[in-house]
């Protein structure tokens, strides 16, 4: 049961009203009063003001329970939010991918997607990524044209 629910029930019993009488005075159902006092729902601000007038207590006294402090949220874990500098790792991945021509086309795209402005060397990663992609495109073109290009066959007549 919530603190508001306990305060509402205690104040009603202290003034000697029944749930039905309070419901009639406030023009709500008895079930609404029951829900408020069991903590399944809360009265709106208008009804809360009328309840405080009816019970001769302040709204603050109904809402607060012995001035308890609200439970504090868990403290943020600083290690969870610390920046991880991936700049050097992304730079090495980009350069290493340039050694294998087809991989050098796709890996720089991934490293540029993964790169953030908070990484060290973030601008250099973009520049080197573009250069590695261009070199890898040229290397892949050379490989494909050498191995899969049209070939020329010369037929010599033997006498």
What mean pLDDT comes out for the span 40-66?
87
What mean pLDDT comes out for the span 87-111?
91
What mean pLDDT comes out for the span 86-111?
91
3 to 33, 102, 114: CA distances (angstroms): 15, 66, 49
Instruction: Return the SS3 of 70.
Output: coil
Residue 81 lies in a domain: no
- CA 127 to CA 121: how far, in whole Å? 10
pTM score of the predicted model: 0.44
CATH assignment of the domain containing 14: 1.10.260.40
In contact, 118 and 155? CB cutoff 8 Å? no
Residue 41 lies in a domain: yes
Question: Structurally, how many domains does the chain consist of?
Answer: 2
- Co-location of 51 and 92 in the same domain: no
- Neighbouring C-alpha atoms within 13 Å toward the C-beta of 22: 27
User: Domain span at residue 101?
Assistant: 87-148
pLDDT value, residue 132 = 95
Residue 80 lies in a domain: no
- pLDDT digit string, tens, across residues 57-93: 988 888 876 655 555 556 666 555 455 678 899 999 9
């Amino acid at each position: 049961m919530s603190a508001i629910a306990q305060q509402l029930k205690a104040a009603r019993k202290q003034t000697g009203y029944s749930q039905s009488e309070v419901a009639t005075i406030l023009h709500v159902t008895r079930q609404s009063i029951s829900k408020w006092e069991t903590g399944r729902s809360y009265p709106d601000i208008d009804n809360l003001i009328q309840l405080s007038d009816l019970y001769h207590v302040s709204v603050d006294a109904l809402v607060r329970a012995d001035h308890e402090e609200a439970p504090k949220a868990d403290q943020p874990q600083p290690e969870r939010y610390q920046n991880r500098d991936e700049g050097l790792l992304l730079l090495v991945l980009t350069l290493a991918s340039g050694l294998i021509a087809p991989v050098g086309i796709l890996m720089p795209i991934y490293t540029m997607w993964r790169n953030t402005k908070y990484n060290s060397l973030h601008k250099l990663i973009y520049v080197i990524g573009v250069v590695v992609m261009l070199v890898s495109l040229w290397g892949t073109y050379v490989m494909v044209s050498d191995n899969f290009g049209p070939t020329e066959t010369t037929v010599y007549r033997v006498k």
